[in-house]
Amino acid sequence: MNNLEKIENSKSLLGFWVYLMTDMVLFAALFATFVVLRGAVAGVGGSLFSAPFVLLETIILLTSSFTCGLSLLAARANKKPLVLVFLLVTFLLGAMFVGLEVSEFSKLVAEGFGPQHNGFLSSYFTLVGTHGTHVTVALLWMFALIVSIYARGLSESNLRKLTMLTYFWHFLDLIWIFIFTIVYLLAFL
């Protein structure tokens, strides 16, 4: 059993799992609020969103999940250069996703559909914005980890951080799948 397998199987990740569960409760509450307010406001929905744009965001984020997973596999094989390449690609894809989300928010606000317009849009901006904030924080974490791995290599500490970052990134992708389905796909129906 190598260092990464020991970390993945250790109890040291328990606190991180507890954190992910509290984040899941947060997002569950935001989804519940969104669903209630979506049904209570008439005349707003799919016409505000661009299906190709949302699909592009989704493809970018899901591709970043794949490259993030590849970074963990490269770490398991003790291939530092590959870990760095996959993390850098993940970072760039994540930054593109955040940029597209900011662009979407800016367009909606410019058209007069900001969070103050009604309860539906307030819940939309809160839900999707909370996800975007989480992705942004993960990008900062990823940048710091890239620098640390470059400088210190695949130490046990960096492997633990990489493991937690990967779990967090996949969690954010899972949340996005729910956002994509509940916020966007249902709006287009």
Model pLDDT, residue 16: 87
Prediction pTM value: 0.91
Tell me how far apart the alpha carbons of residues 149 and 92 are, in angstroms, rounded to a whole number.
17
Model pLDDT, residue 43: 56
What single DSSP character describes residue 154? S
Domains in the chain with CATH codes: 3-188 (1.20.120.80)
Return the closest-CA partner of residue 80 out of 3, 163, 150, 157.
150
Are 183 and 124 in contact by the 8 Å Cβ rule? The answer is: yes
How many C-beta atoms surround the C-beta of residue 62 within 10 A?
Answer: 15
Per residue of the chain (189 residues), give pLDDT as tens.
466 666 666 666 788 888 999 999 999 999 999 998 887 665 566 678 888 999 999 999 999 999 999 999 999 999 999 999 999 999 999 999 999 999 999 999 999 999 998 888 999 999 999 999 999 999 999 999 999 999 999 998 999 999 999 999 999 999 999 999 999 988 877
Return the closest-CA partner of residue 101 out of 78, 74, 127, 81.
127
DSSP letter string, 40-91: HSTT-SGGGS-HHHHHHHHHHHHHHHHHHHHHHHHHHTT-HHHHHHHHHHHH
Model pLDDT, residue 45: 62
What single DSSP character describes residue 181? I
Tell me how far apart the alpha carbons of residues 106 and 128 are, in angstroms, rounded to a whole number.
13
Tell me how far apart the alpha carbons of residues 64 and 86 are, in angstroms, rounded to a whole number.
9
